[in-house]
Amino acid sequence: MRALWLVCALFVAAAHADGAVHTLWELHGKHNTVYLLGSIHVLRAADYPLAPPLLAAYANSQALVMEINLKDLDMSELQAEMLQGALLPEGKTLADVMGRERYARAAASARALGIDLANFDRFAPWFVAEAISQTQLSAQGFSAESGVEMFFLGKAQADGKSVAGLETAHDQIALFEHMTPETQAEYLDSSLKEAGDLPREAGEMVRAWQRGDTEWFRGELQQEFGHDPVLYQSLLGARNRKWLPQIEALLDQDKNYLVIVGTGHLVGQDSVIALLKRDGITAIQK
């Protein structure tokens, strides 16, 4: 399900009943509080304002931590690195990587969306999948500029709060570059098959996020990755384990932190929340 790569969480305004929960968890150290907020990396302007508990978590924090430090991100360098990593070796084409039958199927799916797959012949399948998904989401009004991270980054910069990242943009690009050609081909093929449902699925995900419905996200993750545990571990599980010591170390500090990661990292048996529980750390959903 391509919409799952909005994996974040957001908004819950006055329409929510008393006692509603959010994709927000609270951890307590000896001298501080660490908030974990599930995010949707791209949102629409209409999905604002954010819920008061989310804004309160930010207000109570002296520092912001995200998957990557967007404050220090050089977008021109990032785009150059991404394009370089996405280019296929000289003499190779997307059709070569996909295989004749699968490429023909993918090209037909793309044509149904008004996209000529031949325009992407020099690029790796993972990049094509991401580019097409972003184009579709943009048409529905979703943008990274309206995402949860960018909203809180703007506030942190205005308020002079420190900003840090759990990993680098290079780390995230490498996740896709290191996928096997077969995994990339399947990734693009399945993305195009489901592309027609993306607007509906994206809307459903935002609504689930608004409800703090972790069961919805857990079910979608199972549907998306149940058949491919290797991909799940690469994109989610391994990163959760890598981040865990960094998040636990924040509990030894004196100041409060707001940590924002994609909602998919906070639900399921290998989630950050589950890993914290195994280490004896209680996370309270707010």
Per the structure, the complete domain to which residue 262 belongs is given by 2-285
Tally helices (H) and strands (E) across the chain. Answer: 13, 6
Tell me how far apart the alpha carbons of residues 25 and 190 are, in angstroms, rounded to a whole number: 33
Contact (Cβ atoms closer than 8 angstroms) between residue 240 and residue 212: no
Residue with the bigger pLDDT between 166 and 9: it is 166
Helix axes 75-86, 169-177, angle to 10 degrees: 10
Q: CA nearest 148: which of 270, 21, 244, 22?
A: 22
Residue 280 pLDDT > 90: yes
Domain count for the chain: 1
Which phi and psi angles does 230 have, rounded to 5°? -65, -45
Q: How does pLDDT run across 96-149, given as a tens digit for each residue?
A: 999 999 999 999 999 998 999 999 999 999 999 999 988 889 989 999 899 999
| pLDDT value, residue 196 | 78
Contact (Cβ atoms closer than 8 angstroms) between residue 27 and residue 281: yes
pLDDT band at 7 (very low <50, low <70, confident <90, very high): very low
From residue 59, alpha-carbon distances to 62, 134, 256, 257 in Å are: 8, 31, 10, 10
| pLDDT value, residue 51 | 93
Q: How does pLDDT run across 32-68, given as a tens digit for each residue?
A: 999 999 999 999 999 999 999 999 999 999 999 999 9
* Tokens 């998957």 belong to residue: 67
pLDDT band at 250 (very low <50, low <70, confident <90, very high): very high
Residue 177 pLDDT > 90: no
Q: What percent of the chain shows pLDDT beyond 70?
A: 93
Longest dimension (CA), the chain: 60
pLDDT band at 277 (very low <50, low <70, confident <90, very high): very high
Taking residues 3-8, report their average pLDDT: 43
Helix (H, G, I), strand (E, B) or coil at 183: helix
